[in-house]
Amino acid sequence: MQDITEMETTPSPRPRLGRIDIARGIALIAMAIYHFGWDLEFFGYMAPATTAQGGWKLFARCIASSFLFLVGFSLVLAHGRGIRWRPMAKRLLQIIAAAAAISAVTWYMTPDSFIFFGILHQIALASVLGLLFLNLPPGLTAAVAVLVVAAPHYLASDFFNTPILAWVGLSTVPPRSNDYVPLFPWFGAVLAGIAAARIGEHLGWLKLLSGGIRPHALEKPLTFIGRHSLAFYLIHQPVLISLVYVFSLVAPPAQPDLRQVFTQSCVSACMANDGAALCEKFCGCVVTELDKAKLFDDVFSGKANQENNSTVREIAAMCSPVPGAGAQ
């Protein structure tokens, strides 16, 4: 009798939309491609900071945006007719456990840039916050999405620079992390997905997403990946990084130029706050002056002593642009 009552009171989900699963599968394949590039960079087959700038950086942001958009869209499909609390809680616990595992593993492997709030953490939080918008007018949800995306440009404050608030995304100094997807602005993509699904529902367009794609040879694997997105996300990176590691044993990467490595790493860190041209000029100047002072090897290897550190600070100050010079 209890099971019958639950069946009568628990809202039924909409039928799965095949093209949404396929779209999710495509987003996951794109994510795997990006992570493969990161792995190649990590092992030295690509220049340092390659995946953190330019086209690779844009590629990563497009992947994250599309994936989070689909999270919001799927939230409407699963709970738009009423929140199904038991499946919701089960899925949420799976995502939280996976996010915690990612944080623990990356803390062990790369403690200086571990993933404390990556895309899985964002999905977990957004899955809860998104429930508040399921029954709001889609126009209002879309407007909030725009505000969320714009918030870091207008509300950033030193108050949020403390590590405990880094997940918010309103700090003025971006924290170091191999995958950083804070609440602002990324929750905006989830809200955009919710608004789009609600509008599509109102206009009767969701049925257009129920079909497959051609060629059919791609449909089945993409659908499978899309329907097992969490498992694919957790498995693909260990597999890829293991393959690159084995390859590195057979064909090790060429030894990089240390000054190029230092410069590219410096530019990547600098670009969090300044433009590419300014950062390239600053970092090139630092390398040149360190060579003149015969300190480059000590600085690169981390062997600089207190006296050397004072000289390094003087070099950094000398190479920094003069405040207000750009206004002249």
How far apart CA 128 and CA 130 sit, in angstroms, is 5
HSE, side-chain direction, 13 A CA sphere, residue 95: 21
In a domain, 26, yes or no: yes
Query: Long-range CB contacts (< 8 A, 24+ apart) of 55-63?
Result: 59/30, 59/34, 60/34, 62/30, 63/27, 63/30, 63/31, 63/34
Inter-CA distances, 145 with 54, 141, 193, 198, Å: 26, 6, 9, 14
Q: Do 21 and 223 meet the contact criterion of CB atoms below 8 Å apart? A: yes
pLDDT tens per residue across span 82-133: 999 999 999 999 999 999 999 999 999 889 889 999 999 999 999 999 999 9
- Counting every residue written for the chain, the total comes to 328
Residue 142 dihedral angles phi and psi, to the nearest 5°: -65, -40
In a domain, 327, yes or no: no
Sign of the alpha-carbon torsion through 87, 88, 93, 95: positive
How far apart CA 193 and CA 190 sit, in angstroms, is 5
Which domain, by its residues, includes 158? 2-250
Inter-CA distances, 42 with 38, 46, 178, 213, 241, Å: 6, 8, 11, 36, 9
pLDDT tens per residue across span 214-239: 788 889 999 999 999 999 999 999 99
In a domain, 192, yes or no: yes
* Pair 213, 286 in one domain: no
The pLDDT score that the predictor gives to residue 274 is 74
**246: CB partners within 8 A, 6+ apart:** none
The pLDDT score that the predictor gives to residue 255 is 77
* Pair 57, 101 in one domain: yes
How far apart CA 232 and CA 31 sit, in angstroms, is 10
Strand partners, 180: 117
How far apart CA 163 and CA 73 sit, in angstroms, is 31
In a domain, 328, yes or no: no
Task: Give the end of a domain, one of 200, 226, 250.
Answer: 250
Question: pTM of the full predicted structure?
Answer: 0.80
* Pair 269, 189 in one domain: no
**Number of domains, the chain:** 2
293-327 as b/e, with b when 16 or more CB fall inside 10 Å? eebbebbbeeebeeebeeebeebeeebeeeeeeee
Q: Can you give 215-242 as a three-state secondary structure string?
A: CHHHHHHHHHHHHCHHHHHHHHHHHHHH
* Pair 242, 269 in one domain: no
Low-confidence ranges of the chain (pLDDT < 50): 1-8, 323-328
DSSP string covering 77-104, please?
Answer: HHHTTS--HHHHHHHHHHHHHHHHHHHH
